[in-house]
Amino acid sequence: MTEDHGASTRTSLSERADHFRPTGDEDQLLPQLVAHLREHRTKLRQEWAGRIQDSGLLHAMTPQEMADETTSVYDNYVGVLETGSVEALQRYARDLSERIIPRGVETHEVVGIVLLLRDVLARSLFEKYQRDFGLLNRVLDAYEPAANRIANTVAVSFVEERERIIRQQQDSIRELSTPVLPVRERLLILPIIGILDGERARQLTEQLLTGIRTHRAKVVVIDITGVPDIDESVADHLVRTVDASRLMGASVIITGLSPLIAQTLVTIGVDLSKMDTIGDLQGGLEVAERLLGYTVTRDVGMGGP
Amino acid sequence: MTGGPKLVSILRQGAYLIASVHTALDDSQMVRFRDDLVEQIGRHRSRGVIIDVAALDVLDSFGARTLRTIGELARLRGAVTVIVGIQPDVAFAIVSLGMSTGSLVTALDLEEGLALLDHGVGAGRSTLPDRRRPRR
């Protein structure tokens, strides 16, 4: 166990860990330390919880949740000090992150509470060993690398979990993708919602052009009401898509350009002469219907607005 | 056409000529097709030409430019040219080459192309003859 502990501190942490070598004497220090922390568990945990509250961290959690989580973190923390293995802590940290990330807990809060615990425990060690300075030094030598490793593990687990969630969300956005919907014979609409990046623009082109072919579309309405902003290359791509659609015999009407996008298009000097734009989707559909020769009439007797 | 089998069949259908490109053409074959077509427009006194490129899955810049040239030559000879059946990839490639496609009249397929000619499109007009607003 000590071998394992020594090896991993050497590889993972501070320079201090490099000249920390467990000797026969120090082998006894960590167990002693763990026993001390176990003994004063309630008091230290409460002190820690108090410090967390004073720092204004984790205000997204209720006091009961806070008490539960701080107990678990404390036990896991001491567990790592005892066994030198961070695997259980890693699992716990991932699990915890999964629960608290949706609640809006930030990275600095998680790192903050772990560092606070490190601090609280270190202070209690100061207090216990203050009379024997040499011993205190050796105790800290044993404690600090392990504590650093714990802080590191928790932070990394949290960030990894966060990145995993981001990746997952990106995937689901991509899967939402861009539906090509036939609304009338030979009339397609493409509602685009969300950020239009290069990858998605390519996908859009592909789906639009094949959609024109399969549905024998003559008019396509692309509604970009839900697009917050586009950059130059995407705007350019959009213009090309409109042009390519025309080569396939379909007219494209773009609707729902936000003021911001309109400004962007004008500022970057995209050639807009090939783009037919109408203010909103409703207007776009009306124009499309007219182009296709549809006349829509409302039967007054049937009610409606 | 001289030399080898015909890679493009040009059929007469009333006042229209229908040219189907069966396979990818190299530059000289493309030129031969152009000359042949323009010559036949005069011989048959055609008013409309449809070039069906549905069989092409690639089109280089020379090919795209030649199609445009054919359109212009045909117009000078009194016929409107409609390109039909452009594949999605080809369409995007033509646009990506940065070619001006303004003077090309296009339609989805042969049927659409014929309907377009029947409605009497003018050269250089867009696919939909009746646009809501004037172009600047």
Q: Do A244 and B107 touch (CB under 8 A)?
A: no
Q: Do A212 and B96 touch (CB under 8 A)?
A: no
Same fold for the pair A2-171 and A181-302:
no
Look at the pTM and tell me if it is higher than 0.90. no
- Taking a C-beta distance cutoff of 8 angstroms, is the pair B92, B57 a contact? no
Task: Output the pLDDT for position B5.
Answer: 67
pLDDT-derived band at A25, boundaries 50, 70, 90:
low
| CA separation for the pair A58, A110 (Å, rounded) | 8
Per-residue b/e over A126-139, b at no fewer than 16 CB within 10 Å? eebbeeeeeebebb
Q: Do B127 and A246 touch (CB under 8 A)?
A: yes
Separation of first and last alpha carbons in chain A:
78
At B57-84, the pLDDT tens digits run 888 888 888 888 898 888 888 899 999 9
- Name the nearest CA neighbour of B83 among B54, B121, B119: B54
Signed CA dihedral, B88, B92, B93, B95: sign only: positive
CA distance B43 to chain A (A): 29
Residue B91 with chain A: CB contacts under 8 Å: 209, 244-245, 247-248
Task: Output the pLDDT for position B3.
Answer: 56
Task: Output the pLDDT for position B121.
Answer: 62
Report the percent of chain B where pLDDT is more than 70.
82
Of B89, B95, B128, the CB nearest to A291: B128
In chain A, the residue whose alpha carbon lies closest to the alpha carbon of B91 is A244
Is the model's pLDDT at A16 over the cut of 80?
no
Is the model's pLDDT at A242 over the cut of 50?
yes
| CA separation for the pair A125, A135 (Å, rounded) | 11
CATH annotation of A2-171? 1.10.490.10
Is the model's pLDDT at A177 over the cut of 80?
no
Q: Do A249 and B95 touch (CB under 8 A)?
A: no
At B30-48, the pLDDT tens digits run 999 999 999 999 899 899 9
Mean pLDDT, to the nearest integer, of A36-46? 86
Task: Output the pLDDT for position A133.
Answer: 85
Domains in chain B, ordered, with CATH?
A: 8-118 (3.30.750.24)
- Name the nearest CA neighbour of B53 among B94, B11, B24, B14: B24
pLDDT-derived band at A305, boundaries 50, 70, 90:
low
Higher pLDDT, B87 or B127: B87
Q: What is the CATH T-level fold of the domain A181-302, as seen in this structure?
A: Transcription Regulator spoIIAA (3.30.750)
**Domain ranges within chain A, ordered by starting residue:** 2-171, 181-302
Residue A304: is it exposed, middle or buried by C-beta count within 10 angstroms (0-12/13-18/19+)? exposed
